[in-house]
Amino acid sequence: MEIIFRYLDGNVCFEYNEKNTLPRAGGIREEAAAIDRVILHCDCNSFYASVETVLNPRLSAGPMAVCGDPKSRHGIILAKNEAAKKYGVQTAETIWQAQRKCPGLKLVAPHRDAYAEYSRRVNAIYQRCTDQVEPFGIDESWLDVTGSQRLFGTGKEIADRLREEVRRETGLTISVGVSFNKIFAKLGSDYKKPDATTVISRENWRDMLFPLPVTAMLYVGEAVRRELSGLYISTIGQLAAADPAQLSARLGKHGRQLHDYANGLDDSPVRRADAPREIKSVGNGMTFRRDLSGERELRTGIAVLSDEVAGRLRRYGLCAATIQLQIKDTRLRVISRQRPLPRPTALASELSGAAMELARASWDMALPVRMLTVTACNLVEASLASEQLSLFDESDPAGRGRRLNLERTVDSLRGRFGRGIIAPGSVVNNELMGYSQEEEE
């Protein structure tokens, strides 16, 4: 009797017999090249609310939502359980709107450290099947299990196994989409919830996906939906049948990319779990304890956010070539403006100055501001941006090198003693500062 040994390397399953030290002829690398990939998208159902229920089982009785502080200005719904969904409670709506729909709604404060820990545990379970696990936010991940099928069965069987193991070991449930690319796998995990496996195959994908609204597809937000609506496109099927040139004229290269996605032509890889993450933008947003009023308070808010963004840029060894500013008013309407910087920078003062120029050019200073977001975009390596300036470089009359060294010293002090050890003078004992949220893409 021949004994076969198997192991997984780079998501390719190699087979050995008891005498060989080399893979058996053919292995499955050649076979894998001739067959479709098998991609899973695993989505934790109502993640924040589900973790809270695991931590406190009494919350499972009746509708419940995780939210910001009801007494503060950032009191919005962050997540809700299935019972609350039946009342129409929606993520990102205000607490008072949710309570009007569901008067008995239980409100729970978020426990972000617990969410991070459960996310780590769930992804560790995924990595038992493959080392190609790409997180997509805290509660979703793509898995490439093409080479895992010899060990663990078909894509559907692997998905069902993961659902069972996650439920047994963490108390959470996941919905899993199984398909031949990442975009369709994501559509599959959204197709049926909670705690379900949906297979979107070469045989059924048109029947399943073409009737769906175009907003069901990844990367189609409200702004893109409006543009597509102008072309009389409202379903994925209509998007797939549209003229790619017309889409490009309307949406640029994103239009042609969406056309490819709708036709199942996504070939983007699933990154390995240990692959370094490419950061495309770094931002920070803040909802203030009260409305900002006037240019001075707006400048204070922008200075705080720019300081945090600049610190993270330096930590990542990056510089920004473009600055973006978003302003939300008291009616929750948002404007977004951006501009290129004179040269790439990781200096808080330069980011703040450029963002303030955008504010002066696009905002009526007499109007109140509820929230600001400052985002550094078009990032480049600091070494390529000529930011490594000597402390005494005579070719640096603006003193950028000295300011950079000073801000790095501040970074070091904050790393040792906490962020509060040094702060811009305008925010010391300032009652405006509210809830800050970091953003990366």
The whole-angstrom separation of Cα 139 and Cα 175 is 11
Closest of 275, 360, 367, 361 to residue 328, by C-alpha = 367
Active site residue 31: no
Query: What is the residue type of 168?
Result: R
Choosing from 140, 308, 350, 407, the catalytic residue is 140
What's the CA gap between 247 and 238, in Å, rounded?
Answer: 12
- The answer to whether 171 and 192 have CB atoms below 8 angstroms apart is no
Residue 206 neighbours by CB distance under 10 Å: 15
Determine the Cα–Cα distance for residues 61 and 64; give it in Å rounded to an integer: 8
Contact 239, 228 (CB under 8 A): yes
Amino acid at 218: L
Q: Residue 214 — φ and ψ, nearest 5°?
A: -65, -25
- Residue (of 356, 400, 158) closest to 408 by Cα position: 400
Strand partners, 197: 176
Q: How far apart (Å, rounded) are the C-alpha atoms in residues 326 and 286?
A: 10
Two structure tokens written together for 214:
């175009």
The packing angle between helices 244-251 and 222-229, to 10°, is 130
Query: Phi/psi at 315 (nearest 5 deg)?
Result: -65, -35
- Catalytic positions, written as ranges: 140
